[in-house]
Structures are given as structure tokens and as C-alpha cells.
Amino acid sequence: MSITTLSSREFNQDTSGAKRATERGPVFITDRGKPAHVLLSIDDYNRLIGQSGSILDMLAMPDAAMIDFEPPKLDVQIRPADLD
């Protein structure tokens, strides 16, 4: 993984290049020479926060019908109620 550093001016002049650079790792964007922002791919962001997306997010996707979803089966023990 490589880290790319761009000034705000460079980022504004080549946003597409900054997006492509996220395929190799995070992109640090500086303001007046100091890191101010980080641009990440969505996959890197999800790994960072430890989420793979919710079922709601998946259903909102354009190709949601193509996603295999097998909900876990509940293993519930049903006991009669004690009404005494």
C-alpha cells in the first residue's frame, strides 16, 4: 500500500487522478503543507470501520437482485409458559 500526498490545489486540478490513487492506498490532502483530509476507496473505508455494509445498504444498490442473501436460521427453544 502506498500513500499519496497532494496539496489542495493539486487535488482540485486533478480530482480524477486522486480517485485513481486510492486504488493504491490513502490520499492525504494538505492545506498549507499540513494534512487536512484523507481520501479513501469505499472498500478501504469499510475495512477501517469494520463494516461490510448493512442489508439496507445492499438492497439500495442498483444490482441488489444479484446479491445472494441467506439469513441465519433461528434456533429457539419454545417452552410452555408457567402461569402459576
Q: How far apart are CA 25 and CA 53, in angstroms?
A: 21
Please give the CATH topology (third level) of the domain spanning 4-60.
Answer: YefM-like fold (3.40.1620)
Q: What is the pLDDT of residue 76?
A: 80
Domain map (residue ranges) of the chain = 4-60
Q: What is the pLDDT of residue 77?
A: 82
CB count within 10 Å of CB 74 equals: 5
C-alpha cell at 50: 469494520
- Predicted TM-score (pTM) of this structure: 0.58
**Per-residue tens of pLDDT for the chain, all 84 residues:** 789 999 999 999 999 999 999 999 999 999 999 999 999 998 888 888 776 666 676 667 676 666 676 778 878 888 888 887
C-alpha cell at 66: 444479484
Q: How far apart are CA 42 and CA 59, in angstroms?
A: 17
Are 67 and 61 a contacting pair, CB within 8 Å?
yes
Q: What is the pLDDT of residue 74?
A: 78
